[in-house]
Amino acid sequence: MSGGRYMADGKSQSLFREKPIKVLLAKPGIDGHDRGVLVLAKAFRDAGMEVLYVGLLPTPEDVVDTAINEDVDVIALSLLNGAHLTVFRKVMDIMKNKGIDDISVVGGGTIPDEDKPELEALGISGNYGPGTPLSTIIEHVRMRAEEARIKKLR
Amino acid sequence: MVEGVVRSDRRSIARAISYMEDGHTEIKKEIMEKLYSHCGKAHVVGITGPPGIGKSTLIGNISVLLAKKGMNVSVLAVDASSPYSGGSLLGNRIRMQENLFNYGIYMRSLANRGARGGLSESCMGAVNVLDASGSEIILIETVGAGQADLDIMNLADTTILVLGPGLGDQIQAIKAGIMEIADLFVINKMDIDGSYFAMKDIEEVISMDDPRGYKRRVTGTSATDHAGYDELVGTILDHGRYLSGEGTIGRKRFLMGARWILESEIGRIIIDPAMDAIKKKGTDRNPYVLAEKIISQLNAEISKEL
Ligand code: B12
Ligand SMILES: Nc1nc2c(ncn2[C@@H]2O[C@H](COP(=O)(O)OP(=O)(O)OP(=O)(O)O)[C@@H](O)[C@H]2O)c(=O)[nH]1
Ligand SMILES: [Mg+2]
């Protein structure tokens, strides 16, 4: 477990004890492929994270509101229906409008390589597809959570 | 942040609760002290009962009815953390979120992080944050309760025990502990066979209550038929009015707050200096008698006027 490694050196550090990473898993959009997110939910829990799964079909607005109310570190978006460019962008737009920059967003599902630069430019990283080792995904989420934590301590 | 909480700003509320979960004791104390002057209005309702009995679904349904009455409602739900990884699947939200989304109700999931007793350590702090933010009624779901998960009675003004059909022997175990702490009872899943017997069972128990105290009630509910919720909300508000009449709303939280400070300080303020004093004595003295002596001196000090 590395729940506490997120701490950068800094004077606000003492405000927090070691705490588990909190992740929101969401499938915003009409997409019934939920096996992947359910696998991830268990994998994240077993990696020591606190995991919220909001199920199929929450709107991008609901996703962002939930992330705020639950004060998560990372939003993990999953789509296997090809709508990722539109829907993921919508989530980022709402976050921007609300001025939220201390929650990291990662993506995944069936995302063609040619779409990845565009998602990256929006601030959505990872974008892992079928066959990615879970350890790679977990490491990535930890890294992005660490970034979010540092911003939260500002 | 405290100003944000009082303004009812969602991000401030969420962050303040995170401090209650993750902050050091010093920070938590500072925030709680600042918030307390804004607290005291909320009616705290604890909802406990065995795993899978329908607590989350029930909260989703009654929170909406309360919101429709124009009340400011919020929800805290505690999930168990894995003892192996420390992680947690926070599964209560998904059972209630649709209703919460539609009515803009604030809901927060808390992992118990190994705390026993059905709550998380952060619960009291989180309740104070919500109270200070203007919540009039705060619904708390405990971790699926066994016999010993009784912490909710020290925090909630009203404790509701949810039971249902088919609990069999489990109900006997539950009766032993939790029955006494409940102010109200619910038999959920009234659409399923056997619920009638569960209802009778509880009615029998509460018929033996002391007639001079609050008359406890049992309500049957069903998510499938969307039945019983209006009645349940009525009994909750009625119990709240009863407590207000007695002047005891918020009383438990008041005591819990004081106890929390005392317990967190007892080592540093009392045990450490007492041990220093004892260390100066030789082994020819009796350690049991020395400790008793310190205790009686402290007792004399405590009985003085505050
Ligand atoms: C199983 C399956 C189904 C099942 C789904 C069952 C379920 N409850 O999940 C059923 C049969 C219902 C189904 C239906 C359909 N499917 Co289908 N399905 C698949 C299949 C074969 C495997 C998906 C799967 O479960 N994989 C196993 C899990 C564990 O892996 P995963 O979901 O990929 O997730 C992993 C990674 O992608 C990654 N990941 C996923 N999300 C995220 C998120 C983050 C943040 C990160 C970091 C990582 C990450 O990590 C996960 C764990 O390793 C894929 C093809 C494929 N090989 O991917 C097609 C596929 C996804 N389906 C497809 C289609 C078109 C459909 C249908 C529209 C009709 C059809 N032609 O079959 C319907 C639509 C259903 C609906 N309502 O949405 C297409 C989608 C094409 C596209 N993207 O445009 C695919 C790609 C097949 C294809 N090549 O055409 N499907
Ligand atoms: N038939 C029937 N099923 C119900 C009723 N209420 C809830 N359920 C179902 O019971 C299951 C558990 O419901 P939850 O609300 O998650 O129960 P819970 O007590 O919160 O569960 P834990 O938090 O895991 O302890 C779900 O499948 C619900 O759909 C009801 O009144 N009747
Ligand atoms: Mg529940």
Task: Name the pLDDT band for A15 (thresholds 50, 70, 90).
Answer: very low
> Ligand 2 pocket by C-beta < 6 Å: which residues?
B 51-57, 92, 95, 144, 188-189, 191-192, 222-224
Among A16, A54, A68, select the one facing B94 at the smallest CB separation: A54
What confidence score (pLDDT) does residue B172 get?
66
C-alpha B90 – ligand 1 centre gap (Å)? 24
DSSP B194: T
Q: What is the pTM of this model?
A: 0.91
Residue B33 is assigned to a structural domain of this protein: no
pLDDT(A127) > 70: yes
**How far, in whole angstroms, is CA B264 from its chain's centroid?**
19
- Quote the number of domains for chain B: 2
Asked if B132 and B279 sit in the same domain, the reply is no
Summarize the confidence of residues B72-81 as an average pLDDT.
Answer: 95
Summarize the confidence of residues B168-197 as an average pLDDT.
Answer: 81
Summarize the confidence of residues B266-273 as an average pLDDT.
Answer: 84
Asked if B97 and B146 sit in the same domain, the reply is yes
Asked if B262 and B291 sit in the same domain, the reply is yes
Amino acid at B267: G
Task: Name the pLDDT band for A11 (thresholds 50, 70, 90).
Answer: very low
Q: Looking at CA atoms only, how far is residue A86 from chain B in angstroms?
A: 22
Q: Would you identify the CATH topology of the domain A20-152?
A: Rossmann fold (3.40.50)
Asked if B60 and B142 sit in the same domain, the reply is yes
Among A47, A52, A71, select the one facing B85 at the smallest CB separation: A47
Residue B84 is assigned to a structural domain of this protein: yes
CA distances from A47 to A25, A43, A134, B170 (A): 15, 6, 10, 33
3-class state of residue A126 by DSSP:
strand
- N- to C-terminal Cα distance for chain B? 31
Residue B35 is assigned to a structural domain of this protein: no
Asked if B76 and B119 sit in the same domain, the reply is yes
Counting from 1 in the atom list of ligand 1, the atom nearest the Cα of A107 is 45
Q: Looking at CA atoms only, how far is residue B60 from chain A in angstroms?
A: 14
Asked if B234 and B271 sit in the same domain, the reply is no
Task: Name the pLDDT band for B209 (thresholds 50, 70, 90).
Answer: confident
> Which of these ranges, A130-139, B29-38, B106-115, B204-213, has the smallest mean pLDDT?
B204-213
Residue B135 is assigned to a structural domain of this protein: yes
Residue B274 is assigned to a structural domain of this protein: yes
The residues, any chain, with a CB within 8 Å of residue B26's CB and separated by 6 or more, are: none
More confident residue, B303 or A126: A126
Asked if B117 and B223 sit in the same domain, the reply is yes
What confidence score (pLDDT) does residue B148 get?
61
Q: B135-165, pLDDT tens digit by residue?
A: 999 999 999 876 566 788 889 999 999 999 8
Give the residue among A12, A128, A17, A124 at the shortest CA–CA distance from A80.
A128
CB B290 within 8 A of CB B278: yes
- Can you tell me the distance from the alpha carbon of B76 to that of A138, in angstroms, rounded to the nearest whole number? 28
> Which of these ranges, B60-69, B89-98, B199-208, has the smallest mean pLDDT?
B199-208
What confidence score (pLDDT) does residue A3 get?
34
Amino acid at A67: A
Residue B22 is assigned to a structural domain of this protein: no
Domain boundary among B202, B220, B248: B248
Pocket probe for ligand 1: among A24, A33, A115, the residue whose CB has the most ligand atoms within 8 Å is A33
More confident residue, B201 or A51: A51
pLDDT(A9) > 70: no
pLDDT(B43) > 80: yes
Residue B136 is assigned to a structural domain of this protein: yes
Asked if B120 and B260 sit in the same domain, the reply is no
Summarize the confidence of residues B187-211 as an average pLDDT.
Answer: 86
Q: A55-110, pLDDT tens digit by residue?
A: 887 899 999 999 999 999 999 999 999 999 999 999 999 999 999 999 999 999 99
User: DSSP strand E in chain B: where?
Assistant: 43-48, 73-79, 88-90, 106-111, 137-141, 158-163, 184-187, 217-220
Average pLDDT, chain B: 89
Q: What are the DSSP calls for A50-98, one per residue?
A: EEEEEEE---HHHHHHHHHHTT-SEEEEEE-SS-HHHHHHHHHHHHHHT
Structure tokens at A70: 């639950």
Asked if B59 and B162 sit in the same domain, the reply is yes
Asked if B83 and B170 sit in the same domain, the reply is yes
Q: B10-21, pLDDT tens digit by residue?
A: 999 999 999 999
- Can you tell me the distance from the alpha carbon of B137 to that of B188, in angstroms, rounded to the nearest whole number? 21
DSSP B42: P
Task: Name the pLDDT band for B176 (thresholds 50, 70, 90).
Answer: low
Could you state, in order of their start, the residue ranges of all structural domains in chain A?
Answer: 20-152
What are residue B73's DSSP bridge partners? B137
pLDDT(A17) > 50: no
Percent of chain B with pLDDT over 70: 95
ipTM for the complex? 0.87
Task: Name the pLDDT band for B208 (thresholds 50, 70, 90).
Answer: confident
Percent of chain B with pLDDT over 90: 52
Task: Name the pLDDT band for A12 (thresholds 50, 70, 90).
Answer: very low
Asked if B231 and B93 sit in the same domain, the reply is yes
Query: Treating both helix axes as pointing N-terminal to C-terminal, what angle do A35-46 and A134-152 enclose, rounded to 10 degrees?
Result: 70
What confidence score (pLDDT) does residue A47 get?
95
pLDDT(B170) > 90: no
Asked if B162 and B210 sit in the same domain, the reply is yes
Task: Name the pLDDT band for B173 (thresholds 50, 70, 90).
Answer: low
Residues of B in contact with A54 (CB under 8 A): 93-94, 97
| Domain span including residue B112 | 40-248
DSSP B163: E
Spatial strand order in the sheet of A124-128:
A124-128, A104-109, A74-79, A22-27, A50-56, B88-90
3-class state of residue B297 by DSSP:
helix
What 3 state SS string does B68-119 have? Answer: HCCCCEEEEEEECCCCCCCCEEECCHHHHHHHHHHHCCEEEEEECCCCCCCC
- Can you tell me the distance from the alpha carbon of B143 to that of B119, in angstroms, rounded to the nearest whole number? 7
Q: B105-120, pLDDT tens digit by residue?
A: 999 999 999 888 888 8
B232-239 LR contacts (CB < 8 Å, sep 24+): B232/B58, B232/B62, B232/B184, B232/B186, B233/B62, B233/B65, B233/B66, B233/B69, B235/B184, B236/B45, B236/B62, B236/B137, B236/B158, B236/B160, B236/B184, B239/B157, B239/B158, B239/B183, B239/B184, B239/B214
